[in-house]
Amino acid sequence: MLVSATEMLNKAKAGKYAVGQFNINNLEWTKAILQTAQENNSPVILGVSEGAGKYMGGYNVVMGMVKGMIKDQGITVPVAVHLDHGSMDGCLKCIDAGFTSVMFDGSHFDIDENVKLTTEIIEIAHGKGISVEAEVGSIGGEEDGVIGAGEIADPNECKKINDLGVDFLAAGIGNIHGAYPENWAGLSLDALDDIQKLTGATPLVLHGGTGIPDDMVKTAITLGVSKINVNTDLQWSFAAATREYIEAGKDKVGKGFDPRKIIAPGFEAIKVTVKEKMELFGSVGQA
Ligand code: 13P
């Protein structure tokens, strides 16, 4: 069932669990995530970065694929299709293509510009029932070639953006995309607490969900995090399983070169990782 992410995340915030946003790259990723959500009766958010959208052939291709998958695979759990770290142009294109949710990432603008542009997106998206995520304080690490510094967001700026009527808010709390360095200080849970106090019932979003210790993830959920983004972990799972298949020489045995056979272990590995995350986030059985 295709829905905006508003209701599922409000429910998650009230129920003190989080819904996973799993970024997709292709048909196999999409099928693996949707099947796992259905098998575990969990709501799910399919994240699409601008780079991945381009790679898959465009936002209309993505929507056509997801809609067809939901119908033909009998997916009845709530599914949101969400633009991850969108520019103004990307948000407008995704709204036009039928995405049910968009993130406008204005974190690299000054706060006044972020307020102005986020307001514009909210007006357009809400007119069509599409949910909006905004960001304050850039997330560190690399995402589509953009390197963020991993800031700790200013709680007052979070309140300012929150009060515009965003549906959920990403606030930097020392989290970064991709692998965390050995000397990473961990999430700033005090900052998260301060942010939640000023943003009230709004679900908060934790980017960089790969590599955060489980207990820290659980504490973050108790402090208002209701959406956790995971991308790199699925890529690692897929790559490791594919490597094992090739290194074992299985592509050279019989029809092992068939692309459906080559991709199958990676597909199963994505399913395992998604299930583990859904269990950790507490979204199993919450559809
Ligand atoms: P990871 O790649 O660290 O899992 O982060 C994903 C993310 O935050 C997408 O917005």
| Distance between CA atoms of residues 95 and 106, nearest Å | 17
Ligand 1 atom 1 nearest Cα:
208
Q: Show the tokens assigned to 244.
A: 């094992």
- Of 207, 216, 217, 270, the one to substitute when testing ligand 1's pocket (max ligand atoms within 8 A of C-beta) is 207
pLDDT of residue 138: 78
Q: What is the pLDDT of residues 45-102, one digit of tens each?
A: 999 999 999 999 999 999 999 999 999 999 999 999 999 999 999 999 999 999 999 9
Q: Which domains does the chain possess? A: 6-281 (3.20.20.70)
Look up residue 77 and give its amino acid. Answer: V
- Atom of ligand 1 at shortest range from CA of 210: 4
Q: 136 burial class (0-12, 13-18, 19+ CB within 10 angstroms)?
A: buried
pLDDT of residue 12: 98
- Of 21, 23, 139, the one to substitute when testing ligand 1's pocket (max ligand atoms within 8 A of C-beta) is 23
User: What are the per-10-residue average pLDDT scores of the chain (287 residues)?
Assistant: 98 98 98 98 98 98 98 98 98 98 94 96 98 89 60 94 97 92 90 97 97 97 98 98 98 98 98 98 98
- Atom of ligand 1 at shortest range from CA of 178: 3
Pocket around ligand 1 at a 6 A CB cut-off = 23, 47, 84-85, 177-178, 207-210, 229-233
**C-alpha of residue 249 to centroid of ligand 1, in Å:** 32
**C-alpha of residue 208 to centroid of ligand 1, in Å:** 4
DSSP assignments along the chain, one per residue: -B--SHHHHHHHHHHT--EEEEE--SHHHHHHHHHHHHHTT--EEEEEEHHHHHHTT-HHHHHHHHHHHHHHTT--S-EEEEEEEE-HHHHHHHHHHT-SEEEE--TTS-HHHHHHHHHHHHHHHHTTT-EEEEEES--BEEETTEEE--PBPPHHHHHHHHTTT-SEEEE-BS-BSSPPPTT-----HHHHHHHHHHHTTSPEEE---TT--HHHHHHHHHTTEEEEEE-HHHHHHHHHHHHHHHHTTGGGSTTTTSHHHHHHHHHHHHHHHHHHHHHHHT-TT--
**C-alpha of residue 252 to centroid of ligand 1, in Å:** 35
**C-alpha of residue 54 to centroid of ligand 1, in Å:** 18
- Atom of ligand 1 at shortest range from CA of 211: 3
**C-alpha of residue 242 to centroid of ligand 1, in Å:** 21
Distance from CA of residue 222 to its chain's centroid? 19
Ligand 1 atom 9 nearest Cα:
229
pLDDT of residue 77: 98
- Atom of ligand 1 at shortest range from CA of 179: 3
- Atom of ligand 1 at shortest range from CA of 176: 3
pLDDT of residue 228: 98
**C-alpha of residue 53 to centroid of ligand 1, in Å:** 16
pLDDT of residue 140: 75
Catalytic residue numbers read 84
Q: 127 burial class (0-12, 13-18, 19+ CB within 10 angstroms)?
A: exposed
